[in-house]
């Protein structure tokens, strides 16, 4: 297998990107999360460099009011899921989505959920 192809085959532990000497997939990951961070008015943060998945999930949600906790958890799930799906499309289907396309998928899923359930609600920044 070619080295570039091997680098694109991410595992769950590599979903937590490192900034120094970051690979192309890690930069892709960070850029997607940064777009979500701005879109949510900084409610959702880019995962820390050395975070453990459990810490990444529990710490940001701890102590939040129920409504805000649910909103933040939903955005974190939609973002993680869509980044993972983009990775799988690249590896298994040879379909490469750019970061903007993945971000649009995240926003689309949030919108569909809002239409079906009435929540979560995030306003686009002006």
- Whether residue 112 lies inside any domain: the answer is yes
Question: Can you give the residue range of the structural domain that contains 83?
Answer: 65-126
**Lowest-pLDDT choice from 38-42, 46-50, 112-116:** 46-50
Q: Within 10 A of 2 (CB to CB), how many other CB atoms are there?
A: 7
Q: What are phi and psi of 2, to 5 degrees?
A: -70, 145
- Whether residue 18 lies inside any domain: the answer is no
Q: What is the mean pLDDT of the chain?
A: 80
Pick from 41, 64, 59, 29: nearest CA to 121: 41
Assess whether pLDDT exceeds 60 at residue 121. yes
- Whether residue 46 lies inside any domain: the answer is no
- pLDDT score of 88: 94
Half-sphere exposure of 50 (CA within 13 A, CB side): 1
**Count of domains forming the chain:** 1
Assess whether pLDDT exceeds 80 at residue 9. no
Assess whether pLDDT exceeds 80 at residue 19. no
Residue 117 vs residues 33, 54, 76, 106: alpha-carbon distances, Å: 24, 27, 18, 16
Residues 55-99: pLDDT tens digits? 888 888 999 999 899 999 999 999 999 999 999 999 999 999 999
- Whether residue 1 lies inside any domain: the answer is no
Which tokens go with 45?
Answer: 């943060």
């Amino acid at each position: 297998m070619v080295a570039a192809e091997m680098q694109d085959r991410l595992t769950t532990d590599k979903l937590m990107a490192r900034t120094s000497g970051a690979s192309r997939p890690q930069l892709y990951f960070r850029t997607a999360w940064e777009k979500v961070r701005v879109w949510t008015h900084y409610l959702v943060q880019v995962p820390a460099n050395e975070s453990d998945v459990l810490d990444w999930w529990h710490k940001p949600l701890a102590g939040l009011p129920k409504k805000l906790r649910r909103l933040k958890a939903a955005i974190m799930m939609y973002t993680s899921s869509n980044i993972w799906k983009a990775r799988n499309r690249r590896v298994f289907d040879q379909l490469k989505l750019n970061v903007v396309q993945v971000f649009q998928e995240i926003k689309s899923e949030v919108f569909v959920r809002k239409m079906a359930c009435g929540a979560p609600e995030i306003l686009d920044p002006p």
